């Protein structure tokens, strides 16, 4: 997300880094670079112009504190304005006073609406809600099949009726079933088209009128840039929306839709899809996104992902073992690696670490590497994993053959394992809680 924009903004800020003071000429030149970066990121031209005007006005009228450089001052102003541009504060999902809370998802065909419905249901389930999915795209049978398949994967029931053509009846039946089964969340997937038309909007309007949802969310493809903004304006003019879900943001290095859609429509971005995995859905936090755009990382999201992915029972057992022995064995190493894998793609995780985003730009991080490491570990006997000191040359050759890797890869893994053990010994002296949630 935002890789191209981050790199170009960093280039624009470079002109400030060698200067001891801010002057009007330098600020104007820098803002021209910022405006060019925003426009190349497919940000709405009016939004880009007004954004740069506000930053320039604040930069001209602000004295630079002695403790910061001009570049740091400008970055701070840009950060604050980005937060406002993205909506200011986080807009949480609404909750009905009388269960169930109903979510209606709208959008064009191909925006990722059906997958997003399943992702949202899983997101709710992880937060101790009991969701129900409702398939209201009766014009595209594949959409019903897709939602039912996703529901089975997640063990979340799906309401569908292939014989019924009036979608408002299917939606209402879904809400009634949720009440009967004491389910407190209903996610309704509606039909999409290749373009906005009267029939689509009338059908959506009937669904909304029938179930009176707490949230009516437009699912928009973040990679379409300004088209996503125009689609949001059109939908909102016909059926009042409560927010936006931007999908495919992991594939959008520019970010124009995210930076324009709130400013143009006034609607908050509530959720973003950050990958193909069903757990790749995040609440949208303007301050965190601004930090990512400016390559400052996003430690809070990193911690939240870790808390969701790392199973507390495993973590406490691992902490207890390491605390008693003061070192990892390779079984512990395997457990820790699997916990990291549950957090999502490695490149996305590392991109949340402050300072690493820019360094990783263009770097290829092969997700198969972790699988190869796992194969090496599983090719060892339990005794070898518990006591790696017995791994002599012949054993290492056997492990390499069994895992389909090379002796060099086995040696490299063991070297990394020893380095981690040295780190564990150092940390044990200060007694921190390494793994507990």
Does residue 79 carry a pLDDT above 80? yes
CA dihedral 123, 126, 127, 129 (to 10 degrees): 90
Residue 92 buriedness (CB in 10 A; 0-12 / 13-18 / 19+): exposed
pLDDT in tens, 18-58: 666 677 888 888 888 888 888 888 888 888 899 999 988 88
CATH (one of 3.40.50.300, 3.30.420.40, 3.40.50.720, 3.20.20.70) for 101-296: 3.40.50.300
Distance (Å, whole) CA 272 – CA 406: 40
Rounded mean pLDDT, 272-282: 87
Task: Give the DSSP letter of residue 357.
Answer: H
pLDDT at 354: 47
Q: Considering the chain, what percentage of its residues have pLDDT values greater than 90?
A: 32
CB 60 within 8 A of CB 77: no
CATH (one of 3.30.499.10, 1.10.260.30, 1.20.1560.10, 3.40.228.10) for 304-430: 1.10.260.30
Distance (Å, whole) CA 58 – CA 175: 50
pLDDT at 407: 93
269-273 and 281-283: which strand pairing? antiparallel
CB 229 within 8 A of CB 265: yes
Distance (Å, whole) CA 73 – CA 144: 52
CATH (one of 3.20.20.60, 1.10.10.10, 1.20.1600.10, 1.20.120.140) for 3-85: 1.20.120.140
386-394 long-range contacts (CB < 8 A, ≥24 apart) are: 386/329, 386/330, 386/331, 387/329, 388/329, 388/330, 388/414, 388/417
The CA angle 33-38-42, to the nearest 5 degrees, is 140
pLDDT at 20: 63
Structure tokens of 165? 């053509």
Domain boundaries, the chain: 3-85, 101-296, 304-430
pLDDT at 31: 87
């Amino acid at each position: 997300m935002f890789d191209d924009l981050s790199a170009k903004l960093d280039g624009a800020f470079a002109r400030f880094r060698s200067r001891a003071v801010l002057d009007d000429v330098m600020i104007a030149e820098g803002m021209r670079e910022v405006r060019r970066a925003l426009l190349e990121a497919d940000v709405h031209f009016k939004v880009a112009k007004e954004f740069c005007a506000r930053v320039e006005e604040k930069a001209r009228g602000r004295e630079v504190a002695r403790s910061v450089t001009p570049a740091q001052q400008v970055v701070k102003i840009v950060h604050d304005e980005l937060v406002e541009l993205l909506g200011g504060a986080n807009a949480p999902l609404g909750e009905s006073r009388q269960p169930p809370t109903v979510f209606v998802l709208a959008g064009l065909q191909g925006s990722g609406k059906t997958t997003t419905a399943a992702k949202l249901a899983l997101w709710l389930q992880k937060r101790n809600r009991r969701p129900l999915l409702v398939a209201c795209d009766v014009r595209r049978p594949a959409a019903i099949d897709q939602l039912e398949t996703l529901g089975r994967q997640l063990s979340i029931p799906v309401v569908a009726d292939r014989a019924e053509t009036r979608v408002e009846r299917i939606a209402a039946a879904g809400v009634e079933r949720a009440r009967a089964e004491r389910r407190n969340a209903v996610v309704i997937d509606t039909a999409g088209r290749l373009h906005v038309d009267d029939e689509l909007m009338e059908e959506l309007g009937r669904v909304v009128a029938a179930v009176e949802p707490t949230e009516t969310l437009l699912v928009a493809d973040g990679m379409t840039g300004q088209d996503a903004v125009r689609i949001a304006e059109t939908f909102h003019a016909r059926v009042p929306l409560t927010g936006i879900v931007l999908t495919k943001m992991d594939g959008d290095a520019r970010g124009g839709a995210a930076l324009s859609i709130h400013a143009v429509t006034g609607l908050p971005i509530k959720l973003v899809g950050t990958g193909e995995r069903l757990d790749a859905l995040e609440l949208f936090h303007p301050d965190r996104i601004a930090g990512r755009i400016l390559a400052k990382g996003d430690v809070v999201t990193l911690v939240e992902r870790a808390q969701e992915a790392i199973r507390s029972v495993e973590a406490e057992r691992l902490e207890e073992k390491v605390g008693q022995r003061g070192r990892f064995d390779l079984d512990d190493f395997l457990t820790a690696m699997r916990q990291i894998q549950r957090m999502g793609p490695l490149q996305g995780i590392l991109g949340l670490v402050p300072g690493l985003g820019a360094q990783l730009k263009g770097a290829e991080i092969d997700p198969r590497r972790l699988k190869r490491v796992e194969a090496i570990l599983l090719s060892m006997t339990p005794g070898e994993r518990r006591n790696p000191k017995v791994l002599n040359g012949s054993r290492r050759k056997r492990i390499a053959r069994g895992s389909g890797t090379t002796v060099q890869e086995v040696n490299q893994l063991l070297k990394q394992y020893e380095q981690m053990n040295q780190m564990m010994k150092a940390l044990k002296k200060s007694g921190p809680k390494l793994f507990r949630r």
